[in-house]
Amino acid sequence: MASNAPVGKPTDMSSPRLPKVAGIDSTVPAPPHTVAPLPGVPSAATPSDAALPPGVLIQDRLASWVSDLTTLHELTERLIKTDSLDGALREMLGAGAALVGARRGMAVLEPADGLGPTSTIGLGLAHADLGTIETVPRGSGSYGRLLDGLPEAEPPGAGLPHAEPPGAGLPGNSPAAPRRPARVPEPIAIRDVRTEEGLDPRHREVAARLGYAASYALPLATEEAGRLGAAVWLYDEPAEPDERRRHLIGLYGRFATEHLARLLQVERARARVATVAEELLPSRLPRVPGVRLAVRHLTGPQGGGDWYDALPLPEGALGLAVGSVSGTGPSALAAMGRLRASLRAYAVMEGEDPVAVLSDLELLLRLTEPARSATALFAYAEPAQRRIVLAGAGHAPPLVVGDHRTEFVETSLSAPLGMLTCWEAPSVELSPAPGETVLLYTDGLLRRTGDATDRAFARLHAAAASVPRADRSDPGAVADHVLRTLLPGGLDPAVEGEDVVLLAARFE
């Protein structure tokens, strides 16, 4: 709710130092009692306007409307380019500050359904400042009142008599309750924190400490999306936006809320996919004498079918596997889980022969999922003898990293599983030296670089060769260095659906 303006000469808004955008002067020179006309709503002519020809007045108003539309177009275009909740909140906060003529502010993401995620973003406020603002009781702060005061609206026609449809009272014929859209509250303007009635003393104390004198809070909510959060902008001097600015920030806020709602759905879907993928993979790596293991698994936006496994086998042996299932999304995750579980069973029965393990896996995939292909690499390791026997089906060769060599293991070329009537390829045996680390990885690691295959292999080799000597005794440090060097910016968002798996085994 907006406070009553204090008696006396009105004060101009805080003079922000924000870049100007088309149609909006961030210094807000107009005093509050000089209200700009709302777009589409004609205002009464002033004495000076009466002396102007009607054509000039119409041109001025049209120019003002065009300028406002241009401003909103530019700001919404910038907002729509954001692809993360954090980025969208920051863009919305900065654009809103220019629209309302403020210098600082904060945005709180707190969906009403309680499913998260939640976050707080500041503009011109340090992390400690945000913490200080959050010490104000929520019932006193404007954004807190918006977050806690969104009751559901009654459906249209509630409380009015209406005719019951035929059979409405019979069992099984009860109509579904209509969806109740959320009632969107009005923005809250506090023109002067020092004189506003009903504020908690802590609110005035925090305002004096941080040096702001007024605030304007906008709900991030629509009837369809419900409540997602709230944004509040802070003024250095007593002030509040005029009607024109309120209208513009209201339009922009509704668009921003819908954009945030879409990003929220995407973020939650990604989180669910990542959770399912993690649950289908080993919760921890086994401890086998003579070898130390580490794994790094990065899930793509849509959730791919990359997987890994490490299982202890009889007589102190160890089975290591990595693979990838074609496709993305829940179906690929389900196929990945079935394939991994089958490989574990085959490895226990005939792990000493990796070719037999992959042959059985090929037959299973061809019979149960003929429309799907997969790559896989299985290694039977005997750490006590530092001996590894491995076979791969359409998979990238392992990489051996040590003090005296960094080289790919020469494996035979083979088609992926599900591509041939009968799969079989010769196995390869290698003997890592003490202190050497064998890296098993999926093709997603190479594709995420965005380079051609030969260049991606060269970059992977260079990244492994550059591991500092101090880190080579730790397989986790080796994996981290390779990932940082190969993917300095993390997962490339341009490559959709590609997971990354990097399994490191260091032999003592």
DSSP 234-280: EESSS----HHHHHHHHHHHHHHHHHHHHHHHHHHHHHHHHHHHHHH
Helix pair angle (475-486, 453-465), 10° resolution: 140
Q: What is the pLDDT of residue 420?
A: 64
DSSP-based three-state secondary structure for 338: helix
Amino acid at 428: V
Q: ω into residue 117 within 30 of 0, thus cis?
A: yes
438-463 mean pLDDT: 93
Residues listed for the chain? 508
- Alpha carbon distance 469, 478 (integer Å): 10
| CATH ID of 282-507, from 3.40.190.10, 3.60.40.10, 3.40.50.300, 3.30.70.20 | 3.60.40.10
Least confident of 125-134, 173-182, 406-415: 173-182
3-class secondary structure per residue, 353-380? CHHHHHHHHHHHHHHHCCCCCEEEEEEE
pLDDT confidence of residue 172? 42
Average pLDDT over every residue of 318-333: 87
Residue 141 clears pLDDT 50, i.e. is over it: yes
Q: How far apart are CA 99 and CA 255, in angstroms?
A: 14
Q: Which residues of the chain form CATH 3.30.450.40?
A: 47-151+182-272
- For residues 269-286, give the mean pLDDT: 82
State the Cα–Cα distance between residues 126 and 115, nearest whole angstrom.
27
Compute the average pLDDT of residues 103-107: 95
Residue 171 vs residue 145, higher pLDDT: 145
Instruction: Specify the pLDDT at position 142.
Output: 86
Q: Which residue has the tokens 């393990």?
A: 357
With cut-offs at 50, 70 and 90, classify the pLDDT of residue 301.
low
CA distance linking residue 279 with residue 46, whole number of Å: 69
Mean pLDDT in residue range 336-346: 91
| pLDDT at residue 217, rounded to an integer | 95
The predicted structure's pLDDT at residue 411: 83
pLDDT, tens digit, for every residue of 372-391?
A: 889 999 999 999 999 999 99
The pairing of strands 500-507 and 291-298 is antiparallel
What's the confidence (pLDDT) of residue 111? 92
Higher-scoring residue by pLDDT: 150, 102: 102
**Of 218 and 4, which is predicted with more confidence?**
218
* Nearest CA among 325, 278, 280 for reference residue 304: 325
**How many C-beta atoms surround the C-beta of residue 295 within 10 A?**
21
Q: What percent of the chain has pLDDT over 90?
A: 52
| 33-77: pLDDT as tens digits | 333 443 443 443 444 455 556 667 787 777 788 888 898 999 999
pTM of the model: 0.64
> For the segment 406-438, what is each residue's pLDDT rounded down to a tens digit?
999 988 778 888 876 566 678 999 999 999 999
Confidence of residue 267 (pLDDT cuts 50, 70, 90): confident
Order of strands, edge to edge, in the sheet holding 226-235? 119-123, 104-109, 226-235, 214-222, 188-190
Average pLDDT over every residue of 444-464 = 92
State the Cα–Cα distance between residues 137 and 72, nearest whole angstrom. Answer: 34
* More confident call, 474 vs 276: 474
The mean of the pLDDT values for the chain is 81
Q: How confident is the model at residue 184 (pLDDT cuts 50, 70, 90)?
A: confident
Residue 2, helix vs strand vs coil = coil
- Mean pLDDT, residues 471-477: 95
Query: Which comes out higher in pLDDT, residue 170 or 288?
Result: 288
Asked if residue 1 has pLDDT above 90, the reply is: no
Among residues 304, 495, 306, 293, which one has the least CA distance to residue 396? 306
Dist CA 183 CA 176 (whole Å): 21
Please, what CATH class does the domain formed by 47-151+182-272 belong to?
A: alpha beta
Environment class of residue 165 by beta-carbon count within 10 Å: exposed (0-12), middle (13-18) or buried (19+)? exposed
Residue 134 to residue 199: CA distance in whole angstroms: 15
Helix H or strand E encompassing 391: strand 387-393
Higher-confidence residue of 83 and 34: namely 83
